[in-house]
Structure 1
Amino acid sequence: LKGRYFPRLQNHQLTVETKFDGESMSTDPVGHTSSPFFGTELAWEMDKKALHQHRMQRTPIKLQCIVEDLSIGTREVAGYIMLDLRMAQKKPQKAIWYPLLSTSGNYKKRKPELQVMMTLESEANEDNENNFTAQPLPKYLHKNQKRKHAIIINSEGFFFQIGPNKRAADHFLLSLSILYGKNLIQLIPSSARLSEKNPSVAGYYFRYYIFDNEITNMYFYDLLNPEFKPERASVRLRSNPEYLINYFSRNPAIEIDLCCGQQVLGVAQVPTQGLLQKLGSTAVDGMFHLLMPNQLTPWDSDAVAPAVSVTITLRRLSQSTETQASKSKSNEMTVDRENQGKREDGQAKEKNQPIYSIKSIEENIKTVVLDDEGQKLGEKPHSTYDISTAVNQYLDENNAKATTSVLTGSNQYQAIAARIEQGQHHYRFTIDLRTIRNLNVGFYCNCFLRYTYPYFGSSSPIITAPPIEITRNMEARLPNSHCTFNFACTPKMLRDTTTNTPLMVEVWHRDKVSNDVLMGLAQISLAEVLQCDKQKISLSTGSVGYKQSVKRTTHITSSSESKRIGNLDIILELDDLGEVLKPDTTASRSSDVPSIAANAHNQTDTYNHSDVDQFEKHYRETPQYQAALELEIWKEKQKDLFLAELKKKEEEYMRLMAQEWKQRDSEREILVRKKVDEYTKLTDKLKTSIADLEKRERQLTLGENELSRLRDEIQRELQLKLNEMNEASRRFQEDCEHRVTLERAKVLDLEEQKQKLFADLKEAENRYRERESDFDKYKNQQNSKPEAQLRADINMLTLEKVELQRKLDATIKSKQHYKEQWSEALKELARLRERERVNEKTRLQKQARELEHLRLRYLAQEEKGVMKNDKNELETLKEEIKSLATSIRQTGHKTQELSTELKEKQKKQAIAAEVNQEELEQQIARLIEERDTLMSAGAYTVDDKIIRELDKNIRDTLARQA
Structure 2
Amino acid sequence: MASKSDQLLIVVSILEGRQFPKSSRHTLVVQAKFDGEQLATDPVEHRDQPQFCTELAWELDRKTLHQHRLRRTPIKLQCYAVDSVTKARESVGYIVLDLRSVQEVKQPPKWYPLLSSKYTKLKPAILISMVLENDTKQSPDRFKAKEAPPRQGSPLLSNLVPDKLEAVLKEDEGYHQIGPEYRCTDLFVLSVTVAFATRLEQLIPTTMKLSQEGSEFFFYYTLLGNDITSEPFHNLISPNFEPERASVRVRSSANVLRAFLSQQPDLQIHLCCGNHSLGSAEISLSGLTKSAVDMEKQPATVEGAFTLVPPNRAKLKLPLIPPELQPTLGVSVTLRREGVNPQLGSPGRDADEPQTPVKKGIVSPIPPRSPPPEQRPSVPELKGMSPVPDRNSPEPCPASHHTESEAESLLEDRGQAQPVPAVALLIDPVAGPSGPAGAQVYIEPEAPVSSVSVSAPKIAIPSSAHHFCFSMDLRSIRDMNVGFPVHCILRYSYQFFGSAAPIMTNPPVEVQKNMEVFLPQSYCAFDFAALPHQLQDTFLRVPLVVEVWHRDPSSRDVLLGTVSIQLSHLLASEKTRFLGPTGEQHWRQTFSDRIPVIKARGPSEKIAELCYVTTLEDLGLVKAQEIIISESSQNVPPVQPRTGPPPRQHPDVSAVPPEPRETLEYKAALELEMWKEEQEDLFDNQLKQKELSHMQALAEEWRKRDREREALVKKKEMEYSLLEEQLQKTLADLEKREKQLAHAEMETQRLQREMRAEHEFAMRELQDSGRRLREDCAHQVELERSKVRQLEEERARQQQQVLEAENKYKQLEKEFQQFREQQNTRPEIRLQSEINLLTLEKVELERKLESTTKSKLHYKQQWGRALKELARFKQREQENALMRLKKQQQELEHMRLRYLAAEEKEAVKTDKQELEDIRNELNRLKQQEEKRPVKDTPGVPLNESADDHLSRLLEERDTLLRTGVYTHEDRIIAELNRQIQEAMSHRAAH
State the TM-score, normalizing by the size of structure 2.
Answer: 0.27
Structure ranking higher in helix proportion: 1
